[in-house]
């Protein structure tokens, strides 16, 4: 988890791990002030570093139903690590 968090913080300093569900890690990514190019670079580099970080897959979701009608101010990034057991 520490490697993934450090990697994400390199791109979005205010990233915060908000939940660990089983082995899945849920990070809050604040969008206020984040340039689209920063997020583009984050996901490009995350895709390239998946194996090194132990990430099997990842996905995004909006934080609440209210944000369906408004531009979201935060998104949740879910990281699914490889199962090493």
Tell me what the mean pLDDT of segment 77-82 comes to.
Answer: 85
pLDDT (0 to 100) of residue 57: 93
7-36 pLDDT tens trace? 999 988 888 999 998 889 999 888 776 677
| pTM of the predicted protein model | 0.78
* Gyration radius (Cα) of the chain, Å: 13
Could you confirm whether domain 2-81 is CATH 3.30.70?
no
Q: Quote the CA–CA distance of 81 and 85 in Å, as a whole number.
A: 11
Domain boundaries, given as residue ranges, for the chain: 2-81
């Amino acid at each position: 988890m520490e490697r993934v968090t450090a990697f994400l913080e390199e791109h979005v300093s205010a990233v915060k791990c908000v939940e660990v569900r089983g082995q899945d890690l849920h990070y809050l990514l604040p969008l206020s002030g984040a340039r689209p190019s920063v997020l583009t670079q984050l996901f490009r580099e995350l895709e390239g570093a998946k194996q090194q970080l132990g990430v099997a897959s990842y996905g995004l979701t909006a934080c609440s139903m209210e944000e369906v009608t408004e531009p979201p101010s935060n998104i949740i990034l879910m990281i699914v690590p490889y199962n090493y057991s």
